[in-house]
Amino acid sequence: MPPRTANPSARRTELLDAAYAYALTHGLADLSLRPLAGAIGSSTRVLMFLFGNKDGLVRALLARARTDELALLERLRRPECPVGLIPAAEHVWTWLAAEEHRPLLRLWAEAYTRSLIEPEGPWAGFAEDTVTDWLDVLAACQPQPERDTEEGAVRRTLTLAVLRGALLDLLATDDAPRLTAAVRRHLALLRSEDGLGA
């Protein structure tokens, strides 16, 4: 039976939230339906009925993680008054470096990696979608004259690469002061380019 995603029931939403909390702690690499069902007060039969199969549940969990990620990014969108690439990057890094977001970001890193090595599975497209999401929001933060130029695209691409690289380093080392200094140095270089171009 295919997963029931249209107008999800309260029970499906409740179990998805519980499974998401479980995934934030345990990850998705070795996810098994039976231990998950026991941990969240359900059964494998109910999970299969609501999500179709394990892949359907993984896709639902990845969509839930993407929703949390986009909630941060969407707060930066102000089409009528763009905040600018540098303030947006500062805001994003502050959020990424916050200790309380590590579980979500570990889950993001796991899904990003699996999407690259298992492109046909339930992870399909996750990494590319993430890049597109972030670049779209960073573009929306740039003033229109910068946004639509080749240089504007290069600046947001470089900024995303610095933020993503710093995030992966942070998850590996937990050295927030060193990485915050590195991100600030990158943003200072962008500011100096702006000054030179003024």
Whether 43 is covered by a domain: the verdict is: no
* Pure H helices in the chain: 10-26, 33-39, 44-51, 54-74, 85-97, 102-117, 126-141, 144-147, 150-173, 176-197
Whether 172 is covered by a domain: the verdict is: yes
- Those residues whose C-beta lies under 8 Å from the C-beta of residue 155, and which sit 6 or more positions away, are 85, 142, 146, 190
Whether 52 is covered by a domain: the verdict is: no
Whether 45 is covered by a domain: the verdict is: no
Per-residue confidence (pLDDT) for residue 196, from 0 to 100: 44
Per-residue confidence (pLDDT) for residue 8, from 0 to 100: 65
Look at the chain and report how many structural domains it folds into: 1
Whether 160 is covered by a domain: the verdict is: yes
Whether 186 is covered by a domain: the verdict is: yes
Whether 127 is covered by a domain: the verdict is: yes
Per-residue confidence (pLDDT) for residue 7, from 0 to 100: 52
Per-residue confidence (pLDDT) for residue 2, from 0 to 100: 41
Per-residue confidence (pLDDT) for residue 65, from 0 to 100: 84
Q: For 120-140, what is each residue's pLDDT tens digit?
A: 888 888 999 999 988 988 998
Ranges of residues in the chain with a pLDDT under 50 are: 1-6, 196-198
Domain that holds residue 94: 62-197
Whether 148 is covered by a domain: the verdict is: yes
Per-residue confidence (pLDDT) for residue 79, from 0 to 100: 63
